[in-house]
Amino acid sequence: MSTESPSAAPRKKLPLKERYALLTRDLDWEPSYVDREQLYPFTRYEGIKIHDWDGWQDPFRLTVDAYCKYQAEKDKRLYAVLDGFAQGQGHLTLSDASYLNSIKLFIQGVTPLEYAAHRHFAFLARHLEGPAPRFAALCQSIDELRHTQTQIHTISNYNKYYSGFHSWSKMHDRVWYLAIPKSFFDDAMSAGPFEFLISISFSFEYLLTNLLFVPFMSGASFNGDTPTMSFGFSAQSDESRHMTLGLEAIKFLLEQDEDNVPIIQDWVDKWFWRAYRVSALVAAMMDYMLPKPVMSWKEAFELYFEDQMLSGLFPDLDFYGIRPPRHVDDAIAEKEHLSHQVYKIFHNFSSVAAFTTKTPDDAHLDWLSEQYPDTFDTHHRPTWEKHQRVEAGGRRMFFQGLPQQCQVCQLAISFTEKDDPGKLSFRRSEFRGETFHTCSDGCKWIFDREPEKYVQAWLPVHQILKGDCGGPTIPDVLAWYGIQTGDNGEYTGSPDEQFWRAWHDPSLKHGE
Amino acid sequence: MNAALRPVSIDLQESEENRALIEAIEADNPEVTTRHLPGLIKLQAPGQIVINRESVEERLGHEWETGEFQLAIVSYTGNVSEWDDDQIIVKWEH
Amino acid sequence: MQYELRHQVIPAKRQTYQNVIDRLGDQPVSRYLEGTLDVQPREHFHYRPTWMPNRELYDERFSALRLTDSYRFTDPRQYYYTTYVAARAGLHDDFGKTLSYLEERALLARLPAGWQALLSSIVVPLRHYESGAQLVSVAGARFAYGTSLEQCCSFAAFDRIGNAQMLSRVGIALGGGTRDELETAKRAWVDGAHLQPLRRLVEEIMVLDDWAESLLAIDLVDSLVYPLVYRGLDEHALLGGAVAYSLVAQHFSAWFADQRKWIDALVATWATDPEHATANRAALGHVLATWAGRAYSAVAALAAAVDNHLPMAETSAALAATAESRRSPWASLIGGAAS
Amino acid sequence: MSVKALYDYEFPSMDRAEVFDDDVLVYVHWEGNPIFCSAACFRVPKTMPFGEFVTSFVVPWAESDPDFDPERTQHWRLFNDPLDVADTKSLADLGIGHKTLLTFAA
């Protein structure tokens, strides 16, 4: 081996791309003492063919030192906002305490998904064969831990003063409406590494991320929730790296082998619908849970999905033979109704939820009429006005019982037929002599593809009726869910509302 | 619609820190249109959006690494086709 | 009105989340604890993994080493994401400054020939060792049970690739800003006789089914490599006119001291678990019996190569002493079970 | 098409009839009444007479709508087929099995 001194001539600078490659993918070596298949046992059974892992492109070239520098800077800014907000009792400057119901839904439903992503991107960081995507997955894994923890820390301050935030982790494992996001991610994690990549990196992170997250953050901004806006936008800056990973993943898999194309198309079809059904929760949040709404679900869907994805992305993917997702027309047709139908579920069942709901007042109904001029007054407004009449008589109507759930998405079966918004859409399949109910053609198609998977689903309603959720009565179940007095039910008159009014009543003094 | 016409977009957090970046994008991409949403600005243009390090530095008055774009971005639509020391390009490929 | 509001103190209903209250009482707690305790899901997984039979998505049975309550283990460093990246931003910043200093003064180029040879044929090739250790650590990030534990594995995985990148940057600097030294290093890792026992060992550890066994097996190697290559040669570097080596090595020694904190705490927690202590000690004994000797042999080959370049450092002799000192704390934890 | 897995991927259905012993799950949908977001799900003994099922399960649920009139329930269907209800017949006799969907108008 040569031990001559290298010259002390002027240092050369490696181009960014080459340097990045040397610091990431070049660290890998071909094992010769163990079999490659033993080292990477999970990359063959899904039928995906990869000929050259080096074909993976890295658009974001972030080495560990730069990563730590930028992320530390981002978090410094973020935690300064959190501390300032807490010290200044910033929660009192929110638009209204009812706004926080959307944040309850967020920490119970979304934060655990960030955590699941953290864990399963570590699976990709271990089990993908190419060093370049493994490193991208590792970065994403710890980013997702960041999102989990910044959310816990941001919301910690609200938890001190308001109901419904305190038991988010246990609730995610147990409470009926949280089975919707949980089953979605469990579905992806139980699949193979390539399907996970398409389900989460592509369908969730690229196709629908803007629809899922940006409305929450703009809503937060508009309603005085600076901390949530800050963690949200800060998380989104990582998200843009994840989007890049998602797009690179699908292109890479499509370029590797023509036989991959139909497999990927199938996954795009499945995961579009699966992720879209989760986004229904966001639809309800946007149209009903923000005291100061930002934009309607319909408008957001048109902007972020129809314009950007269908008109922008899919023509690009057409080059590889990928067409827009199956059932996408059903989603488009549903944009007039989705938020109303899902908030109806919440409104019916907040008696057994860790958030509260209320019937929209006239001003809110007028806003919805404006946003949905062709459908709202005919199909949805009359129902809310009936609730208003019932409440004027001193009653609040909840659903006295349990709903029928979709075997796949686990939402209550509450959606309507495309050609008849007055008629609930019921679909069913028979498998091994048993009937399985789904809410839509999309969910039925998903069930029928893989019935062996979906028959395992832990459907909260059926579990309650088996007696496996703390006991036979509703109070038993609520206790088992971890719901505390005042978490659930109607917003008006709830502890959150009463405290809020008292805190904002200039004639009263508190804490003295 | 072909790749040169289909809109790409970049959403940035609207803050004092990002003002020079936003101005640089607007100057270097004459076809860009903007839309303001609470807390963020959405920049959209047909075909592609280019971010030049030099243009940002000119407006900032100090050094700026393209990696710092990570501190500003909220979301985007398109494909990041170039990201080197001097330039970031978001465009559609096909 | 809002101005007035700010002068009223609103009493908190609770100080932290309910799961933390259940464990520690209702009191303010650190961001580390709030962001760590009970975060991982525990029950009601909807579907079984298609990639492994007889396991749930999160399952204690991914390892033989178990804890009655996984949160009996917490990270002594109390790293959650933000404190972790802040600490590492500091480390990489310091390292970057060291490297700039060395490059500006051409100090790597001026190293005595033996030290250059050491870097070129032994130290820079360890970037691949780090990369293998990264793969091992990240398995724990996915398969460990409980957030406190997997979080340490996640950070360790990121650390390992960070270490690999630091070593690579030394290689680039040593090659005068080119990739030449990295190519040399890779050839040494893949073909160099002195590194083959180590590479074989790492590959065999990487394919183990039990993530904890592989993590500990790598730790047994680390416990020899780090004291020997970084801390052990530091003193000789200063005496032998190789300040540049000392400046580089300090960052790796600092990292290893940090890594030790959580690994040692974890081993102690496993070994003293109220329900699983006996089984855990047996499992730890098995790890030692299987891997300690292999680690020693692999590192001995490396130490012999160091002796070739730097006979004065007496690295092989130092190895024997290091191995002795590393075995005892483990052996005491597990009742002196393994040799 | 079935699940692609590294092993024989076969699990019993979580909510198969046998785990409910002598009971069945029955879904009831009040057609055309959007005050209820969805059908209700009840666990009921197979042998329960239909009349008792209506009185003790369906009515307490449906009457949370103040406009509900138990006398006016009509047009019962089992999935898509008209169901000739009889108060004294058991659910089993009427063919109302595990996870069947009943609809009515009122």
pLDDT in tens, C255-278: 999 999 999 999 999 999 999 999
The answer to the question of residue A282 being in a domain is yes
Q: Report helix, strand or coil for C107.
A: coil
What is the Cα D104 distance to its own chain's centre?
11
Task: List the domain range (segments joined by +) for residue C142.
Answer: 80-333
In chain B the first and final C-alpha atoms are separated, in Å, by 10
pLDDT digits (tens, 9 = 90+) for D36-47: 999 999 999 999
Give the position of tokens 């206790």: A479
Measure Cα distances from A317 to A58, A206, A307, B82, B94 in Å: 19, 13, 15, 19, 8
A477 found inside a domain: no
- Give φ, ψ of C52 to 5 degrees: -155, 130
Strand pairing category for A420-424 and D40-45:
unpaired
Count of CB atoms within 10 A of residue A16's CB? 16
Answer whether C206 sits within 8 Å of A12, measured CB to CB. no
Optimal mutation site among A149, A453, A487, interface C, most CBs of chain C within 10 A: A149
Find chain C residues with C-beta within 8 A of A453's C-beta.
47
Show the domains of chain B with their CATH numbers.
Answer: 7-91 (3.90.56.10)
For residues B12 and B22, what is the distance between their CA atoms, to the nearest angstrom? 8
Residues of C in contact with D6 (CB under 8 A): 50-53
pLDDT the model gives residue C325: 63
Q: Count other Cβ atoms within 10 Å, centred on residue A25.
A: 18
Instruction: Find out whether B37 and A294 touch, Cβ atoms under 8 Å.
Output: yes
Mean pLDDT of all residues belonging to chain B: 91
Residue A186 CA to residue C47 CA, distance in Å, equals: 6
CA separation for the pair A136, A247 (Å, rounded): 13
CATH of the domain at A187: 1.10.620.20
Of chain C, the end-to-end C-alpha distance in Å amounts to 73
d(CA A146, CA D27): 43
pLDDT at A11: 60
Fold of D17-105: Ubiquitin-like (UB roll) (3.10.20)
Question: Would you state the torsion angle of the CA atoms of residues A444, A445, A450, A456, taken in this order, to the nearest 10 degrees?
Answer: -20
CA atoms within 13 A on the CB side of C96: 13
Quote the CA–CA distance of B74 and C248 in Å, as a whole number. Answer: 37
CA pair distance A238, A146, nearest whole angstrom: 10
Q: What element of type H or E holds D76?
A: strand D74-78
Average pLDDT over residues B61-67: 92
- Secondary structure of residue A46 in the 3-state scheme: coil
- In Å, how far is B6's CA from the nearest CA of chain A? 6
Number of domains in chain A: 1
- The dihedral built from the CA positions of residue D30, D36, D38 and D43, taken in this order, carries a sign that is negative
Is A211 a domain residue? yes
Residue C324: pLDDT above 80? no
pLDDT higher than threshold 60 for residue C337: no
| A105 CA: distance to closest CA in chain B (Å) | 21
CA A235 from centroid of its chain's CA atoms: 13
Q: Quick one: which of A379, A380, A378, A375 has its CA closest to A360?
A: A380
Read off φ and ψ for residue A163, nearest 5 degrees: -80, 165
Answer whether A70 sits within 8 Å of B81, measured CB to CB: no
- The distance from CA C335 to its chain's CA centroid, rounded to whole angstroms, is 25
Percent of chain D's residues with pLDDT above 90: 97
| Three-state DSSP state, C259 | helix
Instruction: Retrieve residue D70's tokens.
Output: 């138990």
Q: Which of C104, C123, C108, C106 is nearest to C244 (CA)?
A: C108
Residue B28 CB partners (closer than 8 Å, separation 6+): B50, B51, B52, B55
User: What are residue B11's DSSP bridge partners?
Assistant: B42, B75
Among residues A166, A173, A156, A155, which one has the least CA distance to residue A228?
A155
Decide: D and B in contact? Rule: 3+ Cβ pairs under 8 Å: no
Residue C51 lies in a domain: no
State the smallest CA–CA distance between residue D68 and chain A in angstroms. 13
- A66/B contact by beta carbon, under 8 A: yes
Residue A13 is predicted with a pLDDT of 82
Residue C110 lies in a domain: yes
> In chain A, count of helices (H) and strands (E)?
24, 5
Number of domains in chain C: 1
Look at the block and give the residue holding tokens 């049975």.
C61
Residue listed under structure tokens 């249109």: B33
**Helix ranges, A197-327 (H):** 209-222, 226-256, 260-284, 297-300, 314-318
Q: What is the pLDDT of residue A25?
A: 94
Amino acid identity for residue D44 in this structure: V
Q: Give the whole-angstrom CA distance, residue C290 versus residue C276.
A: 21
Q: Reduced to 3 states, what is the DSSP secondary structure of residue D67?
A: coil
- C 27-56 residues inside an 8 A Cβ radius of A: 31, 34-35, 38-51
pLDDT number for residue C339: 37
Range of the domain at A123: 58-339
H or E stretch at B11 = strand B7-13
Question: For C79-128, what is each residue's pLDDT tens digit?
Answer: 999 999 999 999 999 999 999 999 999 999 999 999 999 999 999 999 99
Which sign, positive or negative, has the C-alpha torsion C213, C215, C216, C218? positive
Contact flag D1-A449 (C-beta cutoff 8 Å): yes
How many angstroms separate the CA atoms of C40 and A462, rounded?
24
Is A448 or C335 the better-scoring residue by pLDDT? A448
Give the one of A243, A244, A311 whose C-beta lies nearest to B6's C-beta: A311
State the Cα–Cα distance between residues B18 and B21, nearest whole angstrom: 5
For residue C60, give the DSSP letter: G
Q: C170-204 pLDDT, tens per residue?
A: 999 999 999 999 999 999 999 999 999 999 999 99
Sort D45 into a burial class: Cβ within 10 Å, 0-12 / 13-18 / 19+.
middle
Using only C-alpha atoms, chain B has a radius of gyration, in whole angstroms, of: 12
Q: What is each CA distance from C250 to C229, C233, C256, in whole angstroms? A: 11, 10, 10
pLDDT tens digits for D57-73?
999 999 999 999 999 99
Q: For A17, how many CA atoms within 13 A lie in the half-sphere containing its CB?
A: 10
Low-confidence ranges of chain A (pLDDT < 70): 1-11, 508-512
Instruction: Note the helical H segments in A319-440.
Output: 328-334, 338-349, 362-371, 376-379, 381-392
ipTM of the complex: 0.95
The amino acid sitting at A174 is R
CB-based touch B/C (3+ pairs, under 8 A): no
CB-based contact B84 A309, cutoff 8 Å = no
Chain C hits for A22, CB-CB cut-off 8 Å, are: 168, 172, 179, 182
Q: How far apart are CA A138 and CA A438, in angstroms?
A: 36
Q: Which pLDDT belongs to residue A237?
A: 85
The pLDDT, as a whole number, for residue B82 is 87
Q: Residue A469 falls within a domain, yes or no?
A: no
Q: Is residue C128 part of a domain?
A: yes
